[in-house]
Structure 1
Amino acid sequence: MFFKQGRFSGFINPISGLVDLLVINLFTLFLPINFQNPILFHSYISIAWVVLSFKNEFYEVYRYSKVVAILRKLFTQFVFFFLILYAYIGFFKQPLMSRLALGKYFLLVFLLIAALKFLSYILLMQYRSLWKGNTRNVVVIGKSKKANQLIEVFEERKEYGYMFKRQFSPRGHNFDLIACFRYIVNNNIDEIYCSVSELKNDELSAFINFADNNLKTLKFLPDNKNIFSKKLKFEYYDYLPILSLRDIPLHNSLNALLKRGFDILFSLAVIFGLLIWLGPILALLIRLESKGPVFFIQRRTGFDNREFQCFKFRSMGMNDAADAKQAGKNDMRVTKIGKFIRKTSIDELPQFYNVLFGNMSVVGPRPHMLKHTDEYANRVDKYMLRHFVKPGITGLAQVRGYRGEIEKESDIQNRIKFDIFYVENWSFFMDLKIIVQTVINAISGEEKAY
């Protein structure tokens, strides 16, 4: 899965991108463009299209997006694509290319991609409106004029896919913050909309902390308070302004597609380049030293707080505390071969199968045992934010020295601080930097790798 369930339309945007790439490449076969090097031309237009799509956020069409916003994206995308397309002639010195055929190609591609984009937009709206699919459960906190207008938008614009469940009045005599939170949890509410003008500062902070710790999306109906001074994202629901407190880069479908594509290629390279021959050797050594399975499979907490089975080479003798107690320094449970593979992080290599299967990423917050997730969620503020993205084999916290056993409270606090920074500031180059640093640390050895 690329996305949190119920938040986005899963694979719609990535599939749209792949279909568009197919269109821009296949249409060259039906026109006498006369390019001399087909591989070069197809590579050129494909890379150009992908780069432009990222730059222009071409596939970021939200449920509340208007037709004019789609037209603006189409115009921007194809103006630059037109310039890049004709630049190919001069840049690669192609005097035999037909300018007229290239113009016809551009026009046909524009018309088909525009038609496909509007068709998918309309079909998705009908899917939400008529079949109640791809919906989000929402509550509104406040009874101001803007709050009532927002509820009207939710109820009248069914194509947005918002299922309004309940309205709470913070200024009412019977308002109970704890009861409100309990309702949100018990009724699987996805998004909370707060009228800022009706909330006290401590109530606003309580909603922010609750949303962070329970994986809920929190948005605001703005007023004239200082909230405008923060780094917030503006969205418009039928001309009604809405503020989002946090923007997660990996909730952008193209970022998610880029990361998933890299994960698949990198995991395949490790599996066929390393595990295919190293695995049988380690399996033999592990079985010779101690009885038990070659792989240690443990349930851990992953993306969107869902459980998954995490794979490792077994580095300990069979014991009853494996799912409850972390390995410590000079841990008697660790075997001789286990000490070596833990020191070099080789025991983590089977997790590339987890990456290939889609429940982990190469880089991300390290997944914790279920027992520790329950423990830290109640102990560490904003701990659950780390589950907005897939867990990783390595992560920012690990390359900054916070790996292995949690010996004191500051260890987990700092680990979560780096995890949240990664979630909120992800970039592809940050992932590459973390991977390089992880390899360097594995070769040089780490103090807490035991």
Structure 2
Amino acid sequence: MESRHIFILIILLIVLDALALNSSFGLIYASGILDDHYSRGEITLFLIFLNLTWLISSLINRTYNEANVQSIKALFKKMSITFLIQVLLLMVGLSFIKHIQFFNAHTFYILLAQIIGTSTVRLVIYYSERLYPKLNLYKKKIVIIGNHDLASLLERYFLKNKLSFNLAGSFTDFNTEVVDERNSKKINKLKDTVKFAIENNLDEVYTTQFPEQCQDLQGVLNLAEKNCVRVKYVTSFIRYKREEEAFANSSYIFNNFYDGIPILVNRREPLSFIGNRIAKRLFDIVFSLFVIVFLLSWFLPLMALLIKLESKGDALFLQLRSGKKNKPFYCYKFRSMNMNKDSNNLQASRNDPRITKIGAFMRKTSIDELPQFFNVLFGNMSVVGPRPHMLKHTEEYSKLIDQYMVRHFLKPGITGWAQINGFRGETKHHEQMLGRVKHDIWYMENWSLFLDIKIIYKTVVNAIKGEENAF
């Protein structure tokens, strides 16, 4: 399950179904008719059975599986089958309680109220999807490039899974002219339209062709990566099995099956799976809360006082940095320099005259980065990830270094794999930034919670020992 939108929808569906089931029982119970026939213990037992049989039925029927929540038809079909399995399980389970007669008009009313409640939940989801176009913002916006039969199969898959994907278009020949229907005139080449789509909030590009097969395609795919758009390659199962060994020895890696269609990517991304993203986010929340509560709660006001005593200005320094998908955010730091006009354009250098005395100590020990744990808690950053750069430097280096923007597929971090391997601080030379980018991409391809813990440990050790590039 890769889509956050679908994950949230499934959790919401589970919660609302549980609410509908228990509310329907509550309505019947509130009427008082059950009290005339059953004791409190018997009523409680029936409610437990009702919840337990729905849970077991939904697991058997995969009611909350990603593929089964994509359309209103699938939602109602799965709900109906789950309900029938539940009734069957109730009959079998309650048949062992011979001294209580549960199956009567009261049970019928409870089950009727339940089916009405769960049906209402699905209708609300369906009409919310149709009436609120803004929900499309939470789906993956994609395009397909290719004129192969596979492109048609893939298009059908995406249209069938509308709650996960927003299909922006399917493009075939790069040399085809696009016609403006309102003015009945040709406006541009199709490849220009693809470029326009990539530059306007696209998330993924799927192509049935590989760069080795189409010269025009390589430029489009390079543009995609510069705009933080993931590229995925579509192949047939027969071709995949035939060329599996060749793919194993190349840069292409198997990623997923979409209705039996193998999808390949050119790099591993453990954090593309939502389970890993949840684990990393939970770790970030717990770790940042620990630092904020037990350290920053008393250390922040102390440092603020020392900073303000030495120089004029705010104790905290807020600077726009490049975040995930190149979206800017305000990064928090303790102010380590005197107020100056070059703070958003010029990196700190060795013996920089702008740095204050307390600032020199903070930078040497990385104390100035501690307020970024608030960024982590708010979701702008992670504890570990590629360091966020100033907007100006992102713009400059994205033009000079291939794959520079790939590092923006992840949330930026307070520390990272590049930093503990010596690539921190000022980047005077092209090779220094190139090394940082290579380490950031390696981290993205090899992420694990253990690796994050290792990086945090190494960061603390380096801060205590002192680092040559920390100034």
Task: Give TM-score scaled by structure 1 length.
Answer: 0.71
In the alignment, does 2:327 pair up with 1:315? no
Residue type matched to 1:193 in 2?
Answer: Y
The code of the aligned residue for 1:200 comes to Q
Q: Deviations over 1:8-31 (max 9, x none)?
A: 3176179479969x99xxxxxx77
**2:282 maps to which residue?**
261
> Does structure 1 residue 369 correspond to structure 2 residue 386?
no
* Per-residue deviation, 1:141: 1.5
Separation (CA, whole Å) in 2 of partners of 1:60 and 1:416: 37
The 5 A counterparts of 1:31-70 are: 61=66
Contact (CA 8 Å) 2:155, 2:170: kept in 1 or not?
no
1:423 corresponds to: 444
Query: Could you tell me which of 256, 268, 278 is aligned with 1:234?
Result: 256
Q: C-alpha offsets along residues 71-111 of structure 1, whole Å, 9 cap, x if unaligned?
A: 9xxxxxxxxxxxxxxxxxxxxxxxxxxxx99xxxxxxxxxx
SS at match of 1:324: coil
Is 1:206 the equivalent of 2:228? no
Specify the SS of the correspondent of 2:253: coil
Aligned to 1:405: 426
Instruction: Report deviation, 1:126.
Output: 7.7
Higher-Rg structure is: 2
The answer to whether structure 1 residue 278 and structure 2 residue 295 are counterparts is: no
Secondary structure of the corresponding residue to residue 232 of structure 1 = strand
CA distance in 2, matches of 1:17, 1:281: 47
**Aligned position for 1:287:** 308
Q: Is the 8 A contact 1:59 1:254 kept in 2?
A: no
1:359 counterpart SS class: coil
Q: State how far apart, in whole Å, the 2-side matches of 1:63 and 1:411 are.
A: 48
Taking the aligned partners of 1:118 and 1:389, their CA distance within structure 2 comes to 39
Query: How far did residue 218 of structure 1 move?
Result: 1.7
Q: 1:62 to 1:128 in 2, by over 3 A?
A: farther
1:266-294 Cα distance to aligned partner (Å, 9 max, x none): 11221222222222222222112111111
Report if aligned partners of 2:334, 2:371 keep a CA contact under 8 Å in 1.
yes
Q: Which residue of 2 aligns with 1:330?
A: 351
What does residue 148 of structure 2 align with?
Answer: 144
- Rounded to whole Å, the distance in 1 between the matches of 2:211 and 2:389 is 38
Query: How big is the shift at 1:240?
Result: 4.1
Paired with 1:351 and 1:367, the residues of 2 have a C-alpha distance of 11
Please give the TM-score of this superposition, normalised by the length of structure 2: 0.68
- Is 2:178 aligned against 1:168? no
Percent identity, aligned pairs only, is 43
Task: Say what the alpha-carbon RMSD is for the aligned residues.
Answer: 4.2
Shift of 1:407: 1.8
Query: In structure 2, do the counterparts of structure 1 residues 358 and 427 end up closer, same or farther at CA, with 3 Å as the change threshold?
Result: same
Letter of the 2:305 partner, please give it: L
> What CA deviation, in whole Å up to 9, does each residue of 1:373-400 have, x standing for no partner?
1111111111111121211111110001
Letter of the structure 1 residue corresponding to residue 153 of structure 2: Q
Q: 1:126 to 1:236 in 2, by over 3 A?
A: farther
2:201 to 185, 188, 198: 188
Q: How many residue pairs align between the two structures?
A: 376
Query: Cα–Cα, structure 1 residues 164 and 327, in superposed 2: closer, same or farther, change >3 Å?
Result: closer
Say if 1:130 and 1:17 are closer, same or farther in 2 by CA, change over 3 A. closer
Inter-partner Cα distance in structure 2 for 1:197 and 1:400: 34
Distance between the aligned counterparts of 1:198 and 1:277, measured in 2? 55
Deviation at 1:252, TM superposition (A): 2.0
Paired AA for residue 61 in structure 1: E
CA distance in 1, matches of 2:9, 2:452: 22
Residue 8 (structure 1) aligned with residue 4 (structure 2): yes
Q: Deviations over 1:112-137 (max 9, x none)?
A: xxx9x999999878865786644443
1:40 is matched with: none
- Distance in 2, Cα, partners of 1:343 & 1:119: 60
d(CA) in 2 for partners of 1:158, 1:65: 6
Q: Which residue of 2 aligns with 1:77?
A: none
Q: 1:413 to 1:122 in 2, by over 3 A?
A: farther
C-alpha separation in 2, matches of 1:200 and 1:121: 45
Aligned equivalent of 2:405: 384
Aligned partner of 2:52 in structure 1 is: none
1:119–1:349 distance in 2 versus 1, CA, 3 Å = farther
Change (3 A) 1:169 1:249: same
Could you tell me which amino acid in structure 1 is paired with residue 387 of structure 2? Answer: R
Deviation per CA, 1:9-59: give whole Å up to 9, x if none: 176179479969x99xxxxxx77xxxxxxxxxxxxxxxxxxxxxxxxxx99
Partner deviation per Cα, 1:231-262 (whole Å, 9 max, x = no partner): 2213224x444434444222322222222222
Gap change, CA 1:187 and 1:409, over 3 Å in 2: closer
| Distance in 2 (alpha carbons) for counterparts of 1:18 and 1:152 | 27
Q: Higher relative CO (CA 8 A, sep ≥ 6), structure 1 or 2?
A: 1
Q: Which amino acid aligns with 1:361?
A: S
Cα deviation digits, residues 175-208 of structure 1 (max 9, x gap): 9586254222344333222122797254454344
Mapped partners of 1:305, 1:440: distance in 2: 31
User: 1 CA distance for matches of 2:211 and 2:148?
Assistant: 8
**Partner of residue 26, structure 1:** none
When residues 318 and 379 of structure 1 are mapped into structure 2, their CA distance, relative to the original with a 3 A threshold, is same
Q: 1:413 Cα deviation (Å)?
A: 0.3
The alignment partner of 2:277 has SS state of helix
- Say whether the 8 Å CA contact 1:60–1:252 is kept in structure 2: no
Unmatched 5+ residue regions in structure 1? 24-29, 32-57, 72-99, 102-114
